Structure 1
Amino acid sequence: MCRWLAYRGTPVLLDTILYRPAHSLIDQSLHAKFGVETTNGDGFGVGWYSEHIDTPALLREVGPAWSNRNLRELADHVRSPLFFAHIRASTGTAVQQSNCHPFRHGRWMFMHNGAVAGFPRLRRDLMMLVDPALYADIEGTTDSEVMFYLSLTFGLDRDPPAAVAAMAGVVEQVGHAHGVEFPLQMTLAVTDGERLWAFRYSSAQESRSLFYSSRVEALRRLHPDVAFLRDLSEDSRLIVSEPLGDLPGAWNEVPENSWGVVQPGTDELHRFTPAPP
């Protein structure tokens, strides 16, 4: 499987979150605690939004994150209010740049941890459900990218939670038709550059780990000595595959079968149910 993080809030240097925490994503690439694999070295990716530019920039490489000099250099100089970072442990598809997360289409970014069970058997049927106008934009061979393009097909632009629910419903429907008992395992994040949605679901009701950070105001009260927290806005949030450290009160588990949105104003958390279109 994989590890990922998504951040939205006060613009920060990528280094602040990618490298500095005690159990940073870079540390997790070698020493994951909650993942199926301890090591996540089959490529990595970072995507971020800059001021006045609608489409995100991407850096994706096939080597491990822990030794990549370009990522280290970039993290010291890029500041962003919204970014994704992902370290990959392949579930069977090739280790190649086009298979590294995050994936991008227009202003949208998408990343995933998990798998479509029996994907080689399901792939053709799932690919045939992708909107023909989008099909030519698929570059890689992963189940994750197909999930993204199915979500786009089912209306990600209009209603992201409904589109992801339709995607999950179709994956389960096709999987069951091929005799796969538990077709889907996913924690995923998607963003349009303004809002950030996260989902936790699995057909077997045993989803991979996912956490979100507590509100900054509460963290300041708990930890007035942590300098980093003084510069963050009240609506800054992190969503992570596993906590970046052991700061008491900092992390909350996303409930099983849930989706949430981090956005200007009030964040939301709801129950997630697949619903094939």
Structure 2
Amino acid sequence: MCRWVAYKGQPVFLEHYVTTADHSLIHQSLHAEKGKTVTNGDGFGIGWYGARDNPGLYREILPAWNDTNLKSLASQIQSSLFFAHVRASTGTATNRCNCHPFAYDKWLFMHNGQIGDYHRVRRGLELQLSDDYYEHRFGSTDSELLFLLAVQENLQKCPVTAMRNVLHRVREAMIDKGIRTPLRFTSCLSDGKRLCGFRCSSDHHAPSLYYRRYENGDVVLVSEPIDRQSECWIEVPQDHAVCFKENGDMVQTEMPLH
């Protein structure tokens, strides 16, 4: 399973969370502690918001620990909202188009999890995309497909409702095919102002999700803590979504899949 970090707050250099923290994302790419796999070496990516509304992206197929470009970029890019992700593939090819985060217009998305027996429902789910959105389907992952389905569902109005509707349709497709392998979905989504995290699964075993809020209002949303101050991290409950609004307020919502 993948590991990732999302940050929203005062502008900071990405290196603070990606490369230099005690249990930074690069460290997790080799020594993950709360995932099914210890090593996450099937590519990486960063996405960040700067002076423009639409985010920037840098994605690469090299392992994060072996890419000097990532270390250089993380030491120079400063942002008030950014994503970083290291990938452990669940079956699709290792190429740039399949690396997270994914972007569409002003939205960023990254994911840790899987659609069980994805190959059996992929065609039917892709047919749910209109031509306009299918044109932005550049890779082959279930993650990108889930993202585009959610964008089509009108993320702007309510990200949690849009994502819930998509996941229920995916679950129905899996049930129709008699698939027993679970749907697991721990993910992060942003439009440059809001930051939303989702943790749910069809079998009560969703991948981990934590957040930490600092006194100045900064928030970090992670698949596992990036430091050893365990008392400062709050675990998002199974089958819940959390959304940090532009003004810093947080809303937690139930999001069951079963």
Short-chain TM bin: over 0.9
Shift of 1:274: 4.6
- Distance, in Å, in 1 between the alignment partners of 2:159 and 2:123 is 24
Which residue of the partner structure matches residue 40 of structure 2? Answer: 40
Report what 1:241 is aligned to: 223
Taking the aligned partners of 2:257 and 2:23, their CA distance within structure 1 comes to 33
Residue 103 (structure 2) aligns with: 104
Preserved contact between residue 182 and residue 203 of structure 1 (Cα < 8 Å): no
| TM-score of the pair, normalised by structure 2 | 0.97
In the superposition, the TM-score normalised over structure 1's length comes to 0.90
Q: Answer yes or no: is 1:120 the counterpart of 2:119.
A: yes
Matched, 1:28 2:9: no
Tell me the distance in 2 between the aligned counterparts of 1:260 and 1:236: 15
Task: Give the aligned residue type for 1:159.
Answer: C
Cα-to-partner distance string for 1:164-221 (whole Å, 9 max, x where unaligned): 00110011000000001254101000100001010000000111111000x322xxxx
Q: Which position in structure 2 is the counterpart of 1:89?
A: 88
In 2, Cα distance between equivalents of 1:84 and 1:192: 12
**Alpha-carbon displacement from aligned partner over 1:88-125 (angstroms, at most 9, x marks no partner):** 00000000000000000000011000000010110000
Q: Give the aligned partner of residue 129 of structure 1.
A: 128
For this pair of structures, how many residues does the alignment match? 257
Supply the distance in 2 between the matched residues of 1:145 and 1:253 (Cα, whole angstroms). 25
CA separation in 2, counterparts of 1:157 and 1:64?
33
2 CA distance for matches of 1:70 and 1:158? 37
Q: Contact 2:113–2:207 at 8 Å: present in 1 too?
A: yes
**Structure-2 residue corresponding to 1:216:** 214
Quick one: which of 233, 250, 258 aligns to 1:267?
250
Partner residue in 1 for 2:74: 75
Contact 2:239 2:257 in 1 (8 A): no
Gaps of 5+ in 1: 218-233
Q: Say what the alpha-carbon RMSD is for the aligned residues.
A: 1.2
Q: Identity of counterpart residues, as a percentage?
A: 42
- The amino acid of 1:132's aligned partner reads D
Distance 2:61 2:74 in 1: 18
